[in-house]
Structure 1
């Protein structure tokens, strides 16, 4: 980053928590040398979260002036404005932003905490995106007990972090979110790099020292994965974690990440056990940290320059999200935070999620990447039938590729990732680069493999490849919901959320939104409050009548209960049923499995 001074930059923002109870930020934007007709706009999306979110809907009271003269503003479209200003004087714009989205993607402000991404608060000054930018975070009496955390470079700040920060350009400014509040914080060093961790909303039982120690292991493992004994591509790193009653998610940035988790998933003082929730949190930390390399630097060629005004399409999210999803838990294993059995349990869950998604037969994982803007981020009751997750199937593509490379014995996926980093100079990447590095390191073309696994709806050769590394994939009996082809919610009755394609429930005529009230079996009627009641009252009978409420009417739908299947483990081909049995993984050769999981050649 170019050397900066403590003076405001040519494009300068002042942000103040103006009204905590009304959840309003006050923003002042000063453009030192505006154009005669200066256009400004607010992004419609945030990189890393592929949905047009219309951040401008929260902007209000926009005004402009030069000196004491008010400057007319003309709104050109939903998110941009043109100021009818002169070029000979600084242009000052003031506006408010409503902030009440408690996620990692936008902005939040209340009496306990503030958080914002620059894409939600900072208007982009057209024509000056490459100029230096600065951000002044103003202290206020209402926030006197708060501190500030951000990945931006501090230029002149007080001991709590309020004050002036600098960025080399607009992209850097909006890629460094800001956390404010009376948060817990700690620090550690990983491979010579300073890391800071702040946590908002934790309960008094929170064990911060354990979180720091475990995160340090993750960071050291990731840095060594990419660079061996070399240096990380950032000088410092910041984790910002918001602990809430119920939540999960993360968003990667160039030298920081914003995370959200359920506060019960945090480690607890005096409890040495590792809960499933804490394992999931560590996997999230690992995932977002791995993104520091894989998508923030090594990234789709289509993302070489972000277009903040519209969707940015790529077919490569199966690689950038899917391969990151493969390595997140694998690096937990290599860091010693989970064992082989736990890792295989996590892989089993991923395999079953994909197999229980009929949409895997409809949409390729490359198509799913391209359609993220309208399908993955806009899920509805038909999503499992129409699409496949580029996270889960993408991670299984990485698994298959790693196992195939190891089976052939010339290279590993680890080497391929580092080879791509080198070939693409830690920058824009295309699928042709993946194929080129694969051929270079493996000694053969992998075009046919990627065509089948990424660009077709064929099943992945999981059983075959796992068996070659000491893991047997065997069919296990499916639960009733899976056998019926249903996804439900249970609260005094059974509410049907999704009817999976080709299942018994679809054949019977059940539909999303139905409330399943009871069953009739051999002339007797029974009230049900959970799905397990169906099997309890049906007994050995396979023919029954489902009594459902739909749009105020009671319907009686003949339903045949399917028997637990006996289908084989997943292999190549398209002949799998819509709702296959679960797959269980069993280690048959601990030495071979450990060699793979430990990263040995």
Structure 2
């Protein structure tokens, strides 16, 4: 169980616990540098191991934050330099101190998103694992941190950390500190009260107060609809939850959940598409306040800052949250039912037309997170044929489960509420078997066993045609010509841009990523538009492709198939019962 209450109880038992102190300043922000100072008092061992994290709460892949640290220096209480050894790339072993170890270093940071830090003259956007070192043996010690804000830039501090005074904040232990991103900038702040708790929204942007007001109204409606799913808000520490939104041209699009806050970043301003484009991340991340932060997979407890973190439950933790993202936008009347229903099409096709389902079920897709969750690598992969995002896969499974339950006069809202009662409020981490047993408790053994056997432990597609019909939705195939490869225009010609889809006409014809399309049936092809038009309008079952590979001209015959893509739309001829079911599903609660 990860509760701040336990941390405070721990401190009360040990009496005068020593506090590790941190300080960060931004004199050279224009060049993306910060100066960090840390003091570890009452060190009892001769050698203290100082580390930089390799991962971050909410991420599952490794991120070598240490690469942006330099000018490391260790001193004792008198300012005398201490002996330092490096036995791995991530840590410093500091020895022969006098009971106090002081650390100083320079941090370079220039990526504003949900994982990394960014420092410039617009803000200090700090993800704590990417910013501060730690001593693992002191993980239960409280931490006090002072942010030396740039007053000349009118900077303020927004964070879930407890404010002690001015720009000094505290955390009860290392995990809470690492889980507390901080936005320091000239942001605007709005808030509202719900069930005796404060919901804050700190917005760093270049827009107007009127735009913020319109956006914040949507945020408030979303928060209330998500609370309605579970029947109550989580008990937020210090009685508040903080959105840390940074919609600036120098950041990268992202969202990352934390216990009592979330980071929201995007280049789009509210006036330039962000009013519509960014709000989905708000809905997704706040839903995580229940699902992931408190209804939490057992494999993530305790979270490991030195190794990749893996769980097979991401189809539920991330995927079901993704299902609710779109549903909440509809219930909050940010999107219309028509927009929501038709918006299902892209994700639906991505999942159910993927060859990857031959290789992995949703649990095994979740195990791929350390390799895909903002992970980086230089060697090519075959992800087009072996991976479906657990966000998308879980989303369409959440849709299927909800509509299946509704045919039994049940619903996914009440199932999620039961998961909350059993594993969220109690903060007892769950295993996959616990999700199944809870579904059995809610919907019966036969229903739950069949759903898990077919769709979780295997990759069988649910009967969406019947499920959609029950809520007045049509599911249809396009039926046009199908090639099975994506192309892009380059200076060398029209290139197949990704691995061809396994089993597709292009795959069977031996075409591969990097091949340069020269002509189709002797017709020269130079643009993506020409390519798509020629394939779509072909009256033949096969086309002759002239292409170039590694400088060699080749010819192959592609036997075109029927486009496997689906369209999802509202059924204008739906029955009254189906329309009533749809209204019950999509209406505001």
TM-score of the aligned structures, taking structure 1 as reference length? 0.87
- In structure 2, the partner of 1:272 is none
- In structure 2, the partner of 1:121 is 131
1:225 to 226, 229, 254: 229
The alignment yields a C-alpha RMSD, in angstroms, of 2.7
1:155 to 153, 164, 168: 164
**Contact persistence 1:509–1:557 (CA under 8 A):** no
Separation in structure 1 between the aligned mates of residue 374 and residue 110 of structure 2, nearest angstrom: 20
- In structure 1, the partner of 2:258 is 253
**Contact persistence 1:109–1:115 (CA under 8 A):** yes
* 2:90 is the counterpart of 1:79: yes
Aligned in 2, Cα 1:555/1:205: closer, same or farther, shift over 3 Å? Answer: farther
- In structure 1, the partner of 2:457 is 455
* 2:578 is the counterpart of 1:594: no
| Cα deviation, residue 434, structure 1 | 1.4
Counterparts of 1:18-167 in structure 2 under 5 Å?
18-34=27-43, 35-66=45-76, 67-86=78-97, 88-140=98-150, 143-157=152-166, 163-167=167-171
What do residues 308-356 of structure 1 show as CA deviations (whole Å, max 9, x unaligned)? 1112221101110011011111112222222221211122222112123
What do residues 20-74 of structure 1 show as CA deviations (whole Å, max 9, x unaligned)? 2331111101011123211121111112121101111111121111113211111
- In structure 2, the partner of 1:15 is 24
Separation in structure 2 between the aligned mates of residue 193 and residue 559 of structure 1, nearest angstrom: 65
- In structure 2, the partner of 1:464 is 466
- In structure 2, the partner of 1:271 is none
Aligned length: 561
Separation in structure 1 between the aligned mates of residue 453 and residue 50 of structure 2, nearest angstrom: 43
**Contact persistence 2:236–2:260 (CA under 8 A):** no
**Contact persistence 1:33–1:89 (CA under 8 A):** yes
Structure 2 unaligned regions, length at least 5:
none
**Contact persistence 2:545–2:558 (CA under 8 A):** no
More helix as a share of residues: 2
Separation in structure 1 between the aligned mates of residue 35 and residue 201 of structure 2, nearest angstrom: 27
Separation in structure 2 between the aligned mates of residue 554 and residue 547 of structure 1, nearest angstrom: 11
- After the TM superposition, which of the residue ranges 315-324 and 425-434 deviates more from structure 2? 425-434
| Cα deviation, residue 80, structure 1 | 1.7
Counterparts of 1:451-600 in structure 2 under 5 Å?
451-477=453-479, 483-490=482-489, 493-498=493-498, 499-516=500-517, 518-521=518-521, 524-533=522-531, 535-536=533-534, 539-541=538-540, 543-551=542-550, 553-560=551-558, 562=560, 564-565=562-563, 580-587=564-571, 588=574, 589-598=578-587
| Cα deviation, residue 263, structure 1 | 1.6
- In structure 2, the partner of 1:243 is 247
- In structure 2, the partner of 1:383 is 383
Aligned in 2, Cα 1:10/1:57: closer, same or farther, shift over 3 Å? Answer: same
SS at 1:344's partner residue?
helix
Separation in structure 2 between the aligned mates of residue 317 and residue 520 of structure 1, nearest angstrom: 43
Separation in structure 2 between the aligned mates of residue 131 and residue 247 of structure 1, nearest angstrom: 33
- After the TM superposition, which of the residue ranges 166-175 and 206-215 deviates more from structure 2? 206-215
SS at 1:415's partner residue?
helix
Aligned in 2, Cα 1:550/1:201: closer, same or farther, shift over 3 Å? Answer: farther
Aligned in 2, Cα 1:404/1:599: closer, same or farther, shift over 3 Å? Answer: farther
Separation in structure 2 between the aligned mates of residue 520 and residue 332 of structure 1, nearest angstrom: 44
Structure 1 unaligned regions, length at least 5:
158-162, 269-274, 566-579
Separation in structure 1 between the aligned mates of residue 443 and residue 392 of structure 2, nearest angstrom: 25
Aligned in 2, Cα 1:397/1:544: closer, same or farther, shift over 3 Å? Answer: closer
| Cα deviation, residue 121, structure 1 | 1.5
Separation in structure 1 between the aligned mates of residue 538 and residue 310 of structure 2, nearest angstrom: 51
- In structure 2, the partner of 1:575 is none
TM-score of the aligned structures, taking structure 2 as reference length? 0.88
Separation in structure 1 between the aligned mates of residue 529 and residue 278 of structure 2, nearest angstrom: 30
| Cα deviation, residue 477, structure 1 | 3.7
* 2:219 is the counterpart of 1:215: yes
